[in-house]
Amino acid sequence: MTWVITRLCRDCVDKSCVDVCPVECIYEYKGDDRETFPNQLYIQPEECIDCGACEPECPWEAIYEDASVPEVFEEDTALNAKMMEVQDDFEVPVHDDIEQPTPEQVEENKKKWGFGG
């Protein structure tokens, strides 16, 4: 079992989850292939110890257990795993202190990706 960061993180990258991860398995893509790896965070599945500390820290509600990823985000599980193919293009980011989203912004983001309603 591992955790997955879904596209709800895309272009909303908060990084609060990075600070609480005890094994530093949350990464940011630093390569040039933005078509394959969009601007979001990724959990390296072989490094994740399934502690779940990241999930409640995500203000965008973008993190799920792999068995509980909503169907609309199913391909995000494979995307997180795909990062292992180009691990050198990823690094553990530094958490920037940014403003938290409002509940309305979180709901709008979910609607944008066809989740919730």
User: pLDDT for 70-94, tens place per residue?
Assistant: 999 999 999 999 999 999 999 999 8
25 contacts: CB under 8 Å, gap ≥ 6:
43, 44, 47, 48, 49
CATH architecture of 3-112: 2-Layer Sandwich (3.30)
Model pLDDT for residues 27-68, shown as the tens digit of each residue: 999 999 999 999 999 999 999 999 999 999 999 999 999 999
Residue 70 CA: distances (Å) to CA of 39, 45, 67, 78: 20, 18, 9, 13
**Predicted TM-score of the model (pTM):** 0.90
pLDDT at 23 over 60: yes
Q: What is the mean pLDDT of residues 1-20?
A: 94
Distance CA 79, CA 42 (A): 8
